[in-house]
Structure 1
Amino acid sequence: MEDNKNNNKNNHKKKLARIILTAFGLLLLAVLIWRAGPKVVWENIVQAGYYLPLVCLTALLWMFLQAIAWSIIQGAFQKVPIITLFRAKIIADGLGTLVPVAANIGGEAARAVIIKEHSPLNEGIPGVVFDKTIEYLASLAYLAAGLFLYLIYLKIPQKLKISSLVALSVIFIALVVMVILQFKGVYSIIGRIARISRRSRRWFEEKESSLRDFDRNMRLMFSHSKTGLLIAFLLHFTARCLGAVEIYIIIRAMGWPASLVKVVFISVFTVIINTAF
């Protein structure tokens, strides 16, 4: 009887939270429209015409592919409903768009929290981190292919070529560091840092078990099905390609001419910015 009461209370709290968050989202949308100008927004919607639903569908499609890739990664622990992952992905991307600095911090952390009912945080966080690593790897491959294309086919300033190669190198180094940290584990590294002060040592002792669990689960990800990891990589790579298609549709909606190489060129720099922030 007591359990039923607790369950009803929890369900009531969840429903209330959803209503509040939905209302807040609608209010935020209204504020954004007001700041941009309702007339300007309407004129852009009219100009976009049937391209607008195409843009939305394309964006949802590449996010859905990323959600499938994440489900493969998260499946190393236990299955999480794809709809839950898809919803978490949309929320994380939305948070990253509204607060750019939080794109790779708050937004990604939200993914693990949203799926907590299906996968505890000691499994959700490693799954998100490893999925993000695979996404970065796919982004790196896409960037390399895109940079190769426009270095050959487009006449661009030397400074821009150099900056592009520097960005590619930085992303590669960051990816290598991420893989090393995940493979070797963070327990020993944080343990050394925690020796700095008594308070940090106390915190480390309290979190020792969680850190060991994190390292163990991260190593489990590396022993996951190689075929599954390859499929996840290809899904993330395809999602990046669909991002270029989305940019092409937007350019066409604005009535501008766009060649394939130029679209890839724009999408490459979009990926660089999204990866960095």
Structure 2
Amino acid sequence: MLEYPQSLLEDSALFCARFVIRSFTGTVKRLRLTTSGIGGARLAELSAIEKKGGCSNTDLSRALDTLTFSDVKDSGRVIELIIPKEAFPDTSSGSKGKLIWLADDNPAKEFSVVLQRESYSSRVKALLWFIGIFLPVLLTAVIGLLVYRIQKRGDVSITEKGDFQKFKNERAGELKKFFGGGLYKNIRLTEDADDYRRMMERELANLNIFSFLPSDSREQLLGFLRKGEREKVDKKLAAAFPEYRKEIESSSH
């Protein structure tokens, strides 16, 4: 919720809210950010000097309806949402708008924004001030999480898939020997959990599987290995190497 504080900023023509956009894994090549349903709203990326000041310190000539970013990383970009006071309705129910962002070629994602003028009730005022203090943090967390999910779904690129397929073609003989020649099954049936984890990691590393397995699958596989979750390791490898699915699935008995 964004609330226009009537009692304190009655003469202010603008309301500003800051938040940070960032990607927690990898780099988002292209990100577009815009608004909908917020009359007269503009967006501006803040400079180092502007970050230290308030709304009046922002160069409004650089504020745009839509911002486009390249190579969004975990270092983040500080954004200011600038809204004219006329956009805040007099009704107690307020009005709703949206922040909309598009990351790479993924579908648009929306974050609802409620616009409301401050209530004169002391209890409501205290509650809304509490919400207002944490709003930038909430915006940062939600937008960061959504960008992370978008990036997570899209981080297995065409290049990664192509490299992995090339690896499987070039190492087909070694992979067939590992999965179908008894070695995988022998390791799978090792009783000691530490021995299983150590030997499986060693053999997968020797085959360079960790180097070519797409990043999301690699992270999950390593997690399953280190927890000793053998069935999940089998399923992950069977999904990555469907040509050896039968051998992998039969290795547990």
Q: Which has the higher contact order (CA 8 A, sep 6+)?
A: 1
TM-score, length-normalised on structure 2? Answer: 0.23
TM-score, length-normalised on structure 1? Answer: 0.21
Larger radius of gyration: 2
Q: Which has the higher helix share?
A: 1
